[in-house]
Structure 1
Amino acid sequence: MLVNGVDMMGGRAFLVSSSHDEDVVDRTLEAFSQSLNDLREEGVV
């Protein structure tokens, strides 16, 4: 995820709250999707 712009380990937990607007959530979902695709291409999953 970090390679795709999302630092999941920057805090103590990977949380979504009301302080995250729709744009942030959308970018996070896009990064997750890209990260999963990257892992598939590498044969990890």
Structure 2
Amino acid sequence: MKYKYLDADDFHSESNKEKMRMGIPLALTDEDRMSGLNHYVIP
């Protein structure tokens, strides 16, 4: 079987990834996180 590993960070926008790279605690807002979580929602 072949599986592709996906990290939750893969679903963040580039601007969110940049905020995380800056290493600032709590850099992402709830709104930032929701944009990534929308990829996980199955209608």
The structure with higher relative contact order (CA 8 Å, sep 6+) is: 1
Higher helix share: 1
Which protein shows a greater Rg?
2
Same fold (TM over 0.5): no
